[in-house]
């Protein structure tokens, strides 16, 4: 069966996390992704290593299903080989610091001259303006995209979330841009520039907090647990501040992840009141309606917690789901990596690697019935030099040896 992006070729000049998370998805959709690395390799091959002299999990978990070539883009021959490849590829993706590709001698204008069908995607920290030339990492984007100000508890400092919304979140936005550009090229015959700023991607994911910023002008945010409001959206702990109240309540035996997140929809109140042993609250006007409960959500969740602390989170999950009450136990990373249903869904998958042996990674979260993803290991540094420069670009064996000796590849 042909894969969705079979025949699409991606020159992948991404590094670290944001860019590689994007091109890995393209590879799982069936594109031929060729990762160009400086001869020293993507810096993450050596970062956070758990085993000596073996590509880190940081690298192996973000670069599956790609081929790897090395190329020194600052050498004259390197630029020639790159030019040859650009002619033959559909997509160039990169996330270097601002201006790096231009400094290599490849402006967008130049790239268009070489290949007018090329789609050129870049991830940067920021859009045009005062921050354009600034570098950015995950938490910088969380800080400047609205996430940190709205994450955490009211009386604590701003918090970073563990979800990599700045890096992988931006990578996923970039996938959407690239796929749209590929589709538009079907009609125009032309490639185009795709740019995504990490600050913008985080802000897109924090959209509802700007909703609440504007609601504040018309009064307090009653769905928030906070008692006092100033002129900016406060951190609201584990309350989403959305239409249905929710909170993480403690469970037995009281470990750091023995919590369950419970949402109380209007229809959920009656079964919850029964479950927690407070059936008299079902018809009590002080408790019976969502409006009546709104000003005492903290008390409501305390009542639920007084019950849940006596049960394990898996039992609470079962009991609440018997009544169709939306809830989710807080799963630790250990529980997730050992979860049978996630393995069955091939979202937690095991991959073999010639140097590190078997490792676990997160598989393809987007399921296509006609284009199922097969997760294959990440490439070793320069593993496909001979295949791509030799067989595909026609570089002779002798020159290949010279290029290696001269540090071009
Ligand atoms: C992540 C980031 C902060 C890292 O910064 P950094 O480690 O200083 O690396 P940079 O990307 O700025 O620079 C890479 C350098 O390597 C060089 N380089 C990269 N690939 C090369 C190659 N194949 N051959 C020769 N040189 C190469 C670049 O030309 C650049 O050199 P220059 O600054 O002299 O022009 C930066 O890349 C960045 O802001 N990226 C955009 C936002 C982003 O994606 N951040 C999240 C990462 S998860």
Average pLDDT over residues 229-247: 95
Q: Which residue has the tokens 């490792």?
A: 359
Q: Give residue for tokens 């992948």.
A: 12
pLDDT interval class at 260 (50, 70, 90)? very high
Nearest C-alpha neighbor of 116 from the set 19, 193, 31: 193
The answer to whether residue 21 sits within a structural domain is yes
Both tokens of 243, joined, read 């239409």
Cα diameter, the chain: 87
Please tell me whether residues 261 and 290 are part of one structural domain: yes
Any idea which residues carry the catalytic annotation?
167
User: What is the distance in A from the centroid of ligand 1 to the CA of 112?
Assistant: 22
For residue 134, which atom of ligand 1 is closest to its CA? 39
Annotated binding site: 17-18, 71-74, 95-97, 103, 135-138, 242-244
pLDDT above 90 for 265: yes
Same domain, 368 and 318: no
Query: Cis ω on the peptide bond leading into residue 318 (within 30° of 0)?
Result: no
Q: Ligand 1: which atom is nearest the Cα of residue 71? A: 23
What pLDDT was estimated at residue 302? 98
Same domain flag for 267 and 368: no
How remote is the CA of residue 96 from the centroid of ligand 1, in Å? 4
pLDDT at 25: 99
CB within 6 Å of ligand 1 — which residues?
Answer: 16-19, 36, 38, 71-74, 95-97, 100, 103-104, 123-125, 135-137, 167, 198
Average pLDDT over residues 100-124: 98
Q: Are residues 50 and 195 in the same domain?
A: yes
Predicted pLDDT of residue 1: 83
Q: What is the pLDDT of residue 23?
A: 99
- Residue 370 and residue 289 share a domain: no
Distance CA(226)–CA(112), nearest Å, equals: 53
Query: Which residues, in sequence order, are CB contacts of 176 under 8 Å at separation 6+?
Result: none
Burial class (CB in 10 A: 0-12, 13-18, 19+), 83: middle
The string of pLDDT tens digits covering residues 15-41 is 999 999 999 999 999 999 999 999 999
Both 40 and 175 in a single domain? Answer: yes
Residue 315 is assigned to a structural domain of this protein: yes
CA dist., res. 116 & res. 119, Å (int): 9
Would you list which residues are annotated within the binding site for substrate?
A: 242-244
- 3-state secondary structure (DSSP) of residue 34: strand
Q: Please tell me whether residues 147 and 285 are part of one structural domain.
A: no
* Average pLDDT of span 110-124: 98
Tell how far CA 401 is from the center of its chain. Answer: 39
What's the DSSP call for residue 228?
Answer: -
**Is the pLDDT reported for residue 105 higher than 90?**
yes
Q: Could you tell me the end-to-end alpha-carbon distance of the chain, in angstroms, rounded to an integer?
A: 35
Q: pLDDT band for position 398 (50/70/90)?
A: very high
Check: CB of residue 277 under 8 Å from CB of residue 307: yes
pLDDT of 344? 98
Instruction: Tell me the best of 13, 43, 96 to mutate to test the pocket of ligand 1, counting ligand atoms within 8 Å of each CB and taking the most.
Output: 96
Query: If DSSP codes are grouped into helix, strand and coil, which group holds residue 359?
Result: strand
Over the stretch 294-343, which tens digit does the pLDDT of each residue have? 999 999 999 999 999 999 999 999 999 999 999 999 999 999 999 999 99
Tell me how crowded residue 335 is: count the other CB atoms within 10 A of its CB.
14
What pLDDT sits at residue 266?
97
Ligand 1 atom 38, closest CA: 97
Mean pLDDT of the chain, nearest integer = 97
CA dist., res. 191 & res. 116, Å (int)? 6
pTM listed for this prediction: 0.97
Answer for the pair 353, 379: CB distance below 8 angstroms, yes or no: no
Domain of 377, in residue numbers: 9-204+338-405
Mean pLDDT throughout 70-88?
Answer: 98
Pair (396, 370) in one structural domain: yes
306/347 same-domain check: no
Residue 376 is assigned to a structural domain of this protein: yes
Shared domain check, 163 and 297: no
The residue contributing the CA closest to ligand 1 atom 32 is 100
Q: Which atom of ligand 1 is nearest to the CA of 14?
A: 44
Atom of ligand 1 nearest to the CA of 16: 48
Protein residue with least CA distance to atom 19, ligand 1 = 38
> Based on the structure, what is the number of domains in the chain?
2
> Which CATH number characterizes residue 297's domain?
3.30.1540.10
């Amino acid at each position: 069966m042909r894969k969705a992006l079979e025949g699409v070729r991606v020159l992948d000049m991404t590094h670290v996390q944001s860019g590689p998370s994007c091109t890995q998805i393209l590879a799982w959709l069936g594109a031929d992704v060729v990762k160009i690395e400086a001869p020293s390799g993507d810096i993450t091959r050596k970062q956070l290593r758990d085993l000596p002299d073996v590509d880190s999990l940081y690298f192996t978990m973000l670069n599956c299903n790609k081929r790897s070539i090395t190329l020194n883009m600052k050498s004259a021959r390197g630029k020639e080989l790159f030019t040859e490849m650009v002619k033959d590829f559909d997509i160039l993706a990169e996330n270097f610091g601002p201006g790096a590709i231009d400094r290599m001698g490849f402006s967008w204008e130049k790239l268009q001259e070489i290949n007018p069908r090329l789609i050129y995607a870049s991830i940067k920290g920021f859009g045009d303006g005062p921050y354009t030339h600034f570098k950015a990492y995950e938490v910088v984007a969380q800080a400047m995209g609205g996430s940190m100000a709205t994450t955490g508890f009211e009386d604590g400092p701003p918090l970073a979330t563990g979800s990599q919304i700045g890096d992988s979140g931006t990578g996923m936005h970039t996938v959407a841009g690239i796929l749209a550009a590929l589709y538009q090229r079907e009609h125009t015959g032309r490639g185009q520039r795709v740019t995504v700023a990490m600050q913008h991607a985080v802000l897109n994911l924090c959209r509802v907090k700007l909703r609440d910023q504007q609601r504040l002008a018309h009064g307090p945010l009653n769905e928030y647990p906070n008692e006092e409001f100033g002129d900016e959206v406060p951190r609201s702990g584990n309350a989403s501040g959305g239409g249905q109240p929710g909170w993480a309540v403690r469970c037995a035996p009281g470990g750091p992840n023995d919590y369950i997140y419970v949402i109380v929809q209007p229809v959920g109140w009656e079964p919850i009141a029964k479950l927690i042993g407070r059936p008299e609250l079902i018809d009590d006007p002080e408790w019976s309606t969502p409006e009546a409960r709104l000003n005492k959500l903290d008390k409501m969740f305390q009542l639920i917690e007084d019950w849940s602390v006596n049960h394990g989170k898996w039992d609470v999950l079962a009991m609440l789901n018997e009544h169709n009450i939306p809830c989710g136990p807080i799963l630790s990373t250990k529980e997730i990596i050992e979860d049978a249903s996630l393995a069955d869904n091939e979202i937690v998958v095991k991959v073999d690697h010639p140097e590190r042996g078997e490792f676990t990674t997160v598989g393809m979260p987007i399921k296509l019935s006609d284009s199922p993803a097969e997760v294959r290991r990440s490439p070793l540094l320069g593993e496909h030099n001979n295949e791509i420069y030799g067989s595909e670009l026609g570089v002779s064996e002798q020159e290949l040896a010279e290029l290696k000796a001269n540090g071009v590849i």
